[in-house]
């Protein structure tokens, strides 16, 4: 891992850690571990008055607002239980946090995420969440394209497929940012944001 620095104006952006995804079997990290590590990061960011952005994915009950286009494995047609799109309790309930609602894989496309970050002078993002190869990777690519410095907390994210997780963390993420563990990021945060 190569995490080297955190800018003075860094935000934690958490992808899709919400009730309906807790039942997923994460690999290589259990969802519970990802939530616990992300909660530690969120606590450290809040303690330093740095923004915490909680991104949640949702859709209308009829799927009408889902991303259009043909796909071999469409995501439409699944009935979700009530409250599936609410942020997990371990992260929810902090009035200073920013909540962004998305309907696509990337937290940037069709949302006000970039506006929230730019208004606060954010130049760097620490990224966590699920699924590594879908929402996290899509957001990481968009963050890079938007000109943000990016740190990826690789043990605070997981996927449904170990090979997909490995591909994202080993092949894609080094091209768009720096990788580090939760503990490495917390240590650097303590040094640079005392």
Q: At 30, which CATH number?
A: 3.40.50.850
Tell me, yes or no, whether 91 lies in a domain.
yes
Tell me, yes or no, whether 80 lies in a domain.
no
Can you say whether residue 173 is alpha, beta or left, with left for phi > 0 and alpha for psi between -120 and 50 degrees?
A: alpha
What strands, in cross-sheet order, belong to the sheet with 124-130?
98-102, 52-57, 10-15, 124-130, 149-158, 178-180
Instruction: Reply yes or no on whether the pLDDT at 53 is more than 60.
Output: yes
Q: Quick one: pLDDT band at residue 77, thresholds 50, 70, 90?
A: low
pLDDT at position 135, please? 96
Q: Quick one: pLDDT band at residue 60, thresholds 50, 70, 90?
A: low
Domains: count for the chain: 1
- In angstroms, the Cα distances linking 119 to 50, 102, 122 are 13, 19, 8
Tell me, yes or no, whether 1 lies in a domain.
no
pLDDT at position 123, please? 98
pLDDT in tens, 83-114: 778 999 999 999 999 999 999 999 999 999 99
Token digits of residue 175: 């091209």
pLDDT at position 82, please? 77
Tell me, yes or no, whether 143 lies in a domain.
yes
Alpha carbon 77 to its chain's center: 25
pLDDT at position 165, please? 96
Tell me, yes or no, whether 69 lies in a domain.
no
Question: In terms of residue numbers, what domain contains 124?
Answer: 10-59+85-192
- 80/144: higher pLDDT: 144
For the entire predicted model, the pTM comes to 0.93
Instruction: Reply yes or no on whether the pLDDT at 58 is more than 90.
Output: no
């Amino acid at each position: 891992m190569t995490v080297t620095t955190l800018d003075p104006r860094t935000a934690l952006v958490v992808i899709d850690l919400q009730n309906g995804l807790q039942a997923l079997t994460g690999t290589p990290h259990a969802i519970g571990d990802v939530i616990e590590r992300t909660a530690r990061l969120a606590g450290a960011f809040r303690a330093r008055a740095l923004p915490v952005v909680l991104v949640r994915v949702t859709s209308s009950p009829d799927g009408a607002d889902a991303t259009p286009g043909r796909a071999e494995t469409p995501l439409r047609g699944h009935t979700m239980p009530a409250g599936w799109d609410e942020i997990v309790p371990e992260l929810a309930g902090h009035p200073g946090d920013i909540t962004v609602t998305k309907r696509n894989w990337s937290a940037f496309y069709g949302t006000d995420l970039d506006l929230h970050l730019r208004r606060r002078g954010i130049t760097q993002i620490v990224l966590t969440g699920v699924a590594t190869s879908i929402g996290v990777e899509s957001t990481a690519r968009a963050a890079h394209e938007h000109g943000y410095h990016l740190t990826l907390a690789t043990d605070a994210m997981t996927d449904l497929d170990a090979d997909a997780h490995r591909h994202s963390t080993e092949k894609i993420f080094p091209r768009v940012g720096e990788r580090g563990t939760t503990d490495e990021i917390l240590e650097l945060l303590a040094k640079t944001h005392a």
